[in-house]
Amino acid sequence: MRRSRSLLVLVAAVAAVLGVGAVAGCSSSEPTAGAAAVSQPTTTDKVTVAGDSISVGLGAALRAHVPAGVDVKVIGEEGSGLARPDIFDWPGRLTELARDFPPTVLVLSVGSNDAQDLRDASGAVVAPFADAAAWDAQYPPRC
């Protein structure tokens, strides 16, 4: 139940950002003053779901629920996160994504694999997981 509710919230959020769906009126078919205009999706509407393995299932489910004309790209890297840029460089990959497939909406799921020592791009430990103060200082700049 929680997953379907989360998916519904995600689909609603993506629809809201893309401007799809319907705006309900109170009692008239005429737009009310200040009502938001709702646009239909165009072929340029792009949603990217990226991140660790959780993003793969999330992206597949989202793909099944978005309207025609919305292009959904899923980039899932098992075991990835922000703790090990020596294994997978999310900031670099997202920079490439912004250049090659600039999304209208980005859903990023990282962090579920990050309960470990933080390392730099060469693989050297910069903040041991056991040192909470160092870890807490080093992790936020990676986000």
Rounded to an integer, what distance in angstroms lies between the CA atom of residue 79 and that of residue 28? 52
**What pLDDT was estimated at residue 9?**
52
Euclidean distance between CA atoms 11 and 101, whole angstroms = 20
Q: Does the residue 67 lie in any domain? A: yes
The answer to whether residue 80 is domain-embedded is yes
Q: Is residue 101 part of a domain?
A: yes
In a domain, 8, yes or no: no
Helix 54-63 to helix 2-18 angle, to the nearest 10 degrees?
A: 60
Tell how strand 70-76 and strand 45-51 pair up: parallel
pLDDT single digits (tens) 55-77: 999 999 999 999 888 999 999 99
Answer whether residue 130 is part of any domain: no
Average pLDDT over residues 126-137: 98
Residue indicated by tokens 């430990």 = 125
Cα 89 to Cα 131: distance, rounded to the nearest angstrom: 23
- What does the pLDDT look like over 6-28, one tens digit per residue? 555 555 555 555 544 433 333 34
Alpha helices, H only, 19-124: 54-63, 90-100
Total domains, the chain: 1
Arithmetic mean of pLDDT over the chain = 81
State how beta strands 45-51 and 105-109 pair. parallel
In a domain, 18, yes or no: no
| Whole-number pLDDT of residue 14 | 56
pTM of this prediction?
A: 0.68
Q: What is the residue range of 51's domain?
A: 42-115
Report the pLDDT value the prediction gives residue 60, as an integer from 0 to 100: 93
Domain CATH code at residue 98: 3.40.50
Confirm whether 131 is domain-assigned.
Answer: no
